[in-house]
Amino acid sequence: MSFKYNPSTLKKLEGIFEEARYIVRYEKGSFNAGYCLLEDKKIVVVNKFYTLENKINCLIDIINQLNFGEIEFSEELMAFYKKITSKKLESNEAE
């Protein structure tokens, strides 16, 4: 992916979830994949002890699992969302 692992990137990812009406929480716990997704309640829980890079990777994994296609994001977040999901499409086509 062509983005930097910094707090700004994390905020953009959190913004995508916020506009999709999901709550992102950082909690301690023993999650198998480093995160827990409660789809019925639209809550994402990420291990708070993860490094910044791991938190970003977890949120990207979750975004790629969920279908946010019909949600209208702000212009900046839509461009970022497309960049993230286009990488998913490229890797699926390679398989």
Q: Say how many domains are in the chain.
A: 1
- What pTM does this model have? 0.81
pLDDT confidence of 2, banded at 50, 70, 90? low
Any long-range contacts for 41-47 (C-beta under 8 Å, 24+ apart)?
A: 44/17
Residues 18 and 14: their CA atoms lie apart, in Å, by 6
Alpha helices in the chain (DSSP H): 7-19, 52-65, 75-94
Give residue 43's domain range: 7-94
pLDDT at 95 over 50: no
Evaluate whether 36 touches 29 at the Cβ level (below 8 Å).
yes
CATH number at residue 78: 3.30.2010
